Amino acid sequence: MKTLRLGIVGCGVMGDVYLKAASSLPSAECIAVADSDEAQATTLASRYGVDTVYSDAEQLFADARVHAVILAIPTRVRTNLALRALQAGKHVLLEKPVALNAADVQTLIRARGSLIAACCSSRLRLQRSARAVAGVLASGAIGELRIIRSCWQFPVRPRPEKLPPKWRLSSAENGGGNMANLGSYILDYLLGVLDWQLEPELVFARTWGIPDILVDHVPEDSDGESLTSAMITFRSGPALLLEQGESFIAKQADSIWKMIGTTGTLSFQILPSTQRIVLERYHADQVIEETVWEGSETFPMAQEGLIDDFVQAVLTGRPPATTLEQAYVVRELLDCIYASTHQGAAVPYTPLLAPGC
């Protein structure tokens, strides 16, 4: 097989993003789309020259021409459709968060068999800058890693004319709010650039909903968190200090990522941007600053990298950037964050899935 024939389920914003990314890849061809809103599916298909439109995902899964599917649909309905796709023999790329809870991810792992199943939470870790971060960490340049610092806060914006989709801050629809939606990227990135070698131990967290003065910025019954503060410790290793949110009362975003070790500190940006990755080390009674990577990256580049990684995993049989086992760790940490908030205490990371399974 030289070209992977794709089908996309979900023709909203992300379906459009994935179709555009796939159309730029010589080794991928999107041949079918499906959405319960057939008019929306038809519009998207015509935009990218896709000939086949289905009003039901099951019809797409039954299409023998389709090798793999991308599920660009809300989390609440995604797991069942992923199971149907796997049963139909299709490779699957899942949006993030990978599932409503860690138990659902375990179900997907059992159903996967020899097929490729991946999660989109790897999107930002597939950038060239992320490979540079991983390279510095693997080299031992910062010594023993002690603290991982992550802050990603979106500033408040004027009330939108069109409210965001209900699922974004819905625990029932999305398995959480901002932390589940965007925090999945952060956990995946930070664990992934360390080659998934860290073993979580304890999670202590607090989450807060949308502030009262901003309730008219979101749909009614938005019960998911808009702000999270968490500390995650790892066995015989560092602590992750995490601040994640939106509707930050400030004019500008607040985004900081650092890896702090015994012999150096690495500072970088996770989001696509023009940036310098800076390594600071202590030498001859002074701190020396070194630029270890410099360049520009964009969100379209990240989307193409994500789809290309999935395509190449299927074509070659290698693991994708984020396997279901790795996505399970991210989802279990999210579950621990919510459990800690509910209990008002630190909770142990006690995965249902044994490491390496």
Confidence category of residue 351, pLDDT binned at 50, 70, 90 = confident
Answer yes or no: is 355 within a domain.
Answer: no
Please tell me the predicted confidence (pLDDT) of residue 198. 97
Q: What is the pLDDT of residues 14-28, one digit of tens each?
A: 999 999 999 999 999
**Co-location of 250 and 167 in the same domain:** yes
Please state the rounded mean pLDDT for residues 274-298. Answer: 97
pLDDT of 232 above 60: yes
CA distance 293 to 128: 9
Kindly state whether residues 42 and 184 are assigned to the same domain: no
For residues 223 and 251, membership in a common domain is answered with: yes
The CATH code of the domain that includes 18 is: 3.40.50.720
Domain match, 131 and 77 both: no
Confidence band for 353, pLDDT divided at 50, 70 and 90: low
pLDDT at 149 over 90: yes
Q: Which residues pair with 153 in a beta bridge?
A: 245, 254
Residue 172 near residue 291 (C-beta atoms within 8 A): no
Task: Give residue 355's pLDDT.
Answer: 44
Reduce the DSSP state of residue 133 to 3 states and report it: helix
Q: Which domain holds residue 283?
A: 124-298+331-348
Tell me if 353 is assigned to some domain.
no
* Together in a domain, 88 and 109: yes
Q: Do 106 and 31 fall into the same domain? A: yes
pLDDT tens per residue across span 175-218: 999 999 999 999 999 999 999 999 999 999 999 999 999 999 99
Confidence of residue 108 (pLDDT cuts 50, 70, 90): very high
Band of pLDDT at residue 357, cut at 50, 70 and 90: very low
Q: Is 217 among the domain residues?
A: yes
How high does pLDDT run on average in the chain? 96
* Residues 105, 187 within the same domain: no
Candidates 210, 114, 138; CA nearest to 168 is 210
The pLDDT, as a whole number, for residue 1 is: 77
354 belongs to a structural domain = no
Q: What is the CATH number of the domain that holds 344?
A: 3.30.360.10
Same domain, 17 and 30: yes
Same domain, 342 and 315: no
| pLDDT value at 44 more than 90 | yes
130 and 23 share one domain: no
The pLDDT assigned to 142 comes to: 98
Q: Which two tokens stand for residue 234?
A: 């790892």
* pTM, full prediction: 0.96
Half-sphere exposure of 293 (CA within 13 A, CB side): 21
Question: Does a structural domain hold residue 326?
Answer: no
d(CA 310, CA 118): 7
Verify that 86 and 183 share a domain, yes or no: no
- The edge-to-edge listing of strands for the beta sheet with 52-54 is 52-54, 28-34, 4-9, 68-71, 91-94, 117-119
21 & 155 share domain: no
pLDDT higher than 70, residue 94: yes
State the pLDDT confidence band at 356, using cuts at 50, 70 and 90. very low
Average pLDDT over residues 110-139: 98
Mean pLDDT of 83-90: 99
pLDDT of 13 > 50? The answer is: yes
d(CA 324, CA 326) in angstroms, rounded, equals 5
Q: How many residues does the chain have?
A: 357
Residue 269 has pLDDT above 90, yes or no: yes
Question: What does 224-283 look like in DSSP terms, one character per residue?
Answer: S-SEEEEEEEETTS-EEEEEEEEEESSSS-EEEEEEEESSEEEEE--SSSEEEEEEEEEE
Q: Is residue 84 part of a domain?
A: yes
Flag whether pLDDT at 354 surpasses 90. Answer: no
The reply to whether 54 falls in a domain is: yes
- Tally of domains in the chain: 2
